[in-house]
Amino acid sequence: MQTDSTGLESRLTRIEQMLAALVEGQQARQWYSIEEFARIVGRSAYTCRQWCRSGRVTARKKDSGRGAYLAWTISHAELLRFQQEGLRPRLDNNNLPALQADG
């Protein structure tokens, strides 16, 4: 009977270690690349880049490690906001929300 409990304890310890590794890998990050954000929200990276350019998602350009080229990054707070509220409204040239045409 002692052998069974020792084996069970050993298995439980391994399971706990695997769970801890999984949780650690899924910890929230401070900033997400376009590709990471796109994967999380289920859209293409191209679409997410367009959202950043148009201000529909608040993002910032940061050093990408590819020379002089900066890459869009999206904060964790913005990811949470997007998941709860969706895209920000479109802005026209005067930085006012665009009006929808009747029709």
pLDDT range class, residue 99, cuts 50, 70, 90: very low
98 or 65: whose pLDDT is higher?
65
Q: Is residue 93 part of a domain?
A: no
Q: Which domain holds residue 51?
A: 2-85
Quick check: 100 pLDDT over 60? no
Q: Is residue 9 part of a domain?
A: yes
Task: Name the CA radius of gyration of the chain, rounded.
Answer: 22
pLDDT range class, residue 103, cuts 50, 70, 90: very low
Phi and psi at 18, nearest 5°, equal: -65, -40
Q: What is the largest CA-CA distance in the chain?
A: 78
Q: Is residue 64 part of a domain?
A: yes
Q: What is the pLDDT of residue 19?
A: 80
Q: Is residue 16 part of a domain?
A: yes
Rounded CA separation 88/54 (Å): 10
Q: Residue 95 region, left (φ>0) first, then alpha (ψ -120 to 50), else beta?
A: left
- Among 86, 88, 89, CA closest to 99: 89
Q: Is residue 50 part of a domain?
A: yes
Q: What is the pLDDT of residue 66?
A: 74
Looking at the structure of the chain, the number of domains it has is 1
Q: What is the pLDDT of residue 24?
A: 65
Q: Is residue 100 part of a domain?
A: no
Query: Global pTM?
Result: 0.63
Rounded CA separation 73/79 (Å): 11
The CATH number linked to 32 is 1.10.1660
Q: Is residue 91 part of a domain?
A: no
Q: What is the pLDDT of residue 5?
A: 79
Q: Is residue 57 part of a domain?
A: yes
Q: What is the pLDDT of residue 25?
A: 63
